[in-house]
Chain A
Amino acid sequence: MAFNYDQYMRPGKLPHIWCPGCAHGTVMKAIIRAIDRVGLEKDRTVIVSGIGCASRMPGYVDFNTLHTTHGRSLAFATGVKMADPSLNVICVAGDGDSLAIGGNHFIHACRRNIDITMIVFNNNIYGMTGGQFSPTTPHGRLASTTPYGNPDYAFDVAELSMGAGATYVSRGTVYHAVPLERQIADGITHNGFSVIDALCTCPTTYGRRNKLGSPIDMILWFKDNTVGIKAAQKLSPEEMEGKILTGVFRNDIKPEYCEEYQKIVEMAQGG
């Protein structure tokens, strides 16, 4: 039987605001299936976002949902999690939201290793404001504010997360929706800060300007231009040229922030 998304959707909140062909819906569905897979209770789950097309996602799903200010979702989520560590806290954010304006909160959440799952809807562009370049727009690409090609260099979300101390780090794509779902599920069950770099597409403001074809072409591009980390080990540097690595890059055990704080509470109360 087909998966019943309705049980997690808010009746009356559709249609969504996303453009036809936008891949944000695919990431949302992967998140819903992942939540179902690990069996999170709706009442005990809080989904937090910032501002952007991606950040509209929590409005559609039936949990405790918090749509905050641009880039700040992790800071709000940290307060939620600290106030009640038994809640499941998931953040969803665009690449601009999480890495530009929210970059500081992002690296510090990684460093703290607080048990929050961060899913970056990485479409390489600012969709909501009409296609300005973002910290993940590749060098040389066109955006509404890089009419001569992007002079900036892009962040690698996974490397940034690992460098900052996140203990679960993976990358998936909307073409590989089932592995993406599995990564999100792993991220949720992982005890610590998890980052899932979910490569997705914005045909409206990024694809069109960079002549990347139809929404389907953009999704199929991931099929030919990504390589799983296991498969990559068998490939030569030449074969890997221009390819994006996907898969689980890190899954480490390290003390979780709220649990560490609980020890402080016990110390303070005992002494």
Chain B
Amino acid sequence: MSGKEVFYQGNEACAEGALYAGCRFFGGYPITPSTEVAELLSRRLPKVGGAFIQMEDEIAAMASIIGASLVGKKSLTATSGPGMSLKLENLGFACITEVPCVILNVMRGGPSTGLPTGPSQSDVMQAKWGTHGDHPAIVLTPASVQEIFNETVRAFNISERLRTPVILLTDEIIGHMREKIVIPEKGELEIWDRPRPDCPPEEYLPYDTSKGIVPPMADFGSGYRFHVTGLNHDASGFPTNKPSLVEPEEERLMAKVTENLDMIEKYEYFQKDGAKVGVMAFGSSARSAKAAIKQAQEEGIPVDLLRPVTLWPYPEGPTIEMAGRVDTIVVPEMNLGQMINEVQRCIEGRAKVVGVNRVDGDPITPENILQKIREVV
């Protein structure tokens, strides 16, 4: 990748990635450890003709980005666990109304106020199931500062193309760590915009899927007048409770994700000949896992690694593949065992699954993981 080399913090990389993707609106409410995103964008957005607003709370921040997106602006909000809890109601609104937007959750310890400056990975299930009702979830978990930049761009791209909110799930460690990264030249990374209608305004139906699973989306104020509601609605956007319309709508929201896995799924997988152990790790725990695997290798223990970059939908295929090769899968995560359930669900007993867990505010170390690897071989 050509481009400008910079020494960036993870949160800064998210803000810069957002600008690169074309984000022109940020609505937020300060919370550690995500605040740098708001601070940087309050400086940078007006320079590019965008808008920054510090709202009265996270509920309002989430609402404001949906409002701005309806006017056609790519929009971002950034928060941490307690704020994410507040955003969930309106996250569901963005799901059912199909309004693109990106939400960064820099995870910290919890529940409640928890550990404001301590890292955690305990919002992974909230990211999938937090808001009420059945709904799709697209959640990306970068593990380095460069990846935060790139995945932020990808989050906007997916969000626009599928008209759905996308969650970026990082944690205090990578949010605050600094690394050298390359900011790609303009045009180097592809930027996608939402599908917009080309029919005459009188014919526009905001949820008409006759030409594809993702309906074109007009900007408020552009001459296409339409209605948006969080109620179940028909193709015209107006409320309906007809079973024959409600169920297909719900199923289509899910299908936008399941039928576009090629675009959404991303993971790193490496297999070592003769491995009896595999590790499934994501985000900052994956960094420790890589160090642990390297050390294990030096001790003569080959280990497979699966690192989901897209956490939801979870990469089932690669997990099953790994389970077919190894006897045991080690799942290190900074929570008391959330993703481990997903691994178990996928592999249906094809391998043993053991966790390495920590919720004391300290990262899971390579040593923690190595010890478990040694234990299971």
Contacts and interface: CB of A to CB of B under 8 A. Distances in A.
Interface in B246-274: none
B318 interface: no
A72 B238 CA distance: 19
B227 A83 contact: no
A67 interface: yes
B25 interface: yes
Contact of A43 (B25, B56, B71, B223): B223
B221 interface: yes
A82 B55 contact: no
B293 interface: no
B208 interface: no
B43 A68 contact: no
Contact of A69 (B46, B57, B93, B221): B93
Interface in A3-55: 10, 13, 42-44, 46, 48
A87 B63 contact: no
A247 interface: no
B192 interface: no
Contacts of B63: 68-69, 72, 75-76, 78-79
B227 A80 contact: no
A114 B222 CA distance: 22
A184 interface: no
B239 A59 contact: yes
A46 B70 CA distance: 11
Contact of A68 (B65, B71, B75, B230): B230
Given A59-B229, A82-B53, A72 B73 contact: no
A105 B67 contact: no
Contact of B66 (A59, A79, A84): A79
Contacts, number: 140
Most buried by B among A44, A72, A76, A83: A83
A62 interface: yes
B25 A104 contact: no
Interface string B219-244: 01111011111110000001100000
Interface stretch (A172-180, A190-198, A212-220, A263-271): A263-271
A75 B229 contact: no
B220 A79 contact: no
B152 interface: no
A46 B218 CA distance: 14
Contacts of A13: 238
Interface in B53-112: 53, 55-57, 59-61, 63-73, 75, 89-90, 93
Interface residues of A, number: 40
Contacts of A267: 46
A165 to B, nearest CB: 13
B47 interface: yes
A187 B90 CA distance: 28
A53 to B, nearest CB: 14
A175 to B, nearest CB: 31
A109 to B, nearest CB: 9
B49 interface: yes
Contacts of B55: 75, 78, 108
Nearest to A17: B239
Contacts of A86: 221
Interface string A87-123: 1000000000000000011001000000000000000
Given A69-B230, A104-B56, A76 B67 contact: yes
B227 A67 contact: yes
Nearest to A62: B225
A219 B180 CA distance: 69
A63 interface: yes
Contacts of A72: 59-60, 63, 90
A202 interface: no
Given A82-B64, A83-B73, A84-B221, A69 B56 contact: no
A125 interface: no
A152 B110 CA distance: 35
Contacts of A48: 67
B27 interface: yes
Contact of A67 (B57, B61, B75, B231): B231
A80 B27 CA distance: 11
B228 A67 contact: yes
A167 B24 CA distance: 29
A66 B221 contact: no
A13 B240 CA distance: 12
Contacts of B222: 43
Contact of B68 (A44, A64, A80, A269): A80
Interface in B36-50: 43, 46-47, 49
Contact of B70 (A59, A78, A80): A80
Interface of B: 24-25, 27, 43, 46-47, 49, 51, 53, 55-57, 59-61, 63-73, 75, 89-90, 93, 220-223, 225-231, 238-239
5 contacts: A78-B53, A79-B64, A83-B25, A84-B71, A264-B46
